Amino acid sequence: MSEVNQELQNEIAGLIVSSLNLDVSPEDIQADAPLYGEGLGLDSIDILEVALVVSKRFGFQLRADNADNVKIFSSLSSLTQHIAANKTK
């Protein structure tokens, strides 16, 4: 992973932890571990909250009806790749 994407991934991990008040450190979120269910243990409400925070921070909409959401939110790494490709700020 490039240094820029690593920085972005670290920022996104921090946003997830702070927006959901998780009892983990951003550095403890494994890049390829599942965000939903097993792994980080997020539920659908958590994912909606993350989508809202990401939309505000990076200037693009993560839509609930996007067919790729399962893939996008499958891991921190896949979420970072999606944000890197779509962010406007």
How far apart (Å, rounded) are the C-alpha atoms in residues 12 and 4? 12
Angle formed at CA 52 by CA 46 and CA 57, multiple of 5 degrees:
125
- The tens-digit pLDDT sequence of the chain (89 residues) is 677 699 999 999 999 999 999 999 999 999 999 998 888 999 999 999 999 999 999 999 888 888 899 999 999 999 999 999 999 88
Domain CATH number, residue 36: 1.10.1200.10
CB 43 within 8 A of CB 36: yes
Residue 29 DSSP symbol? S
pTM: 0.90
17: containing domain: 3-86
In whole angstroms, how far apart are CA 61 and each of 1, 18, 55, 78, 86? 24, 20, 5, 16, 9
Domain count for the chain: 1
Predicted pLDDT of residue 37: 84
Residues 6 or more apart in contact with residue 67 via CB below 8 angstroms? none
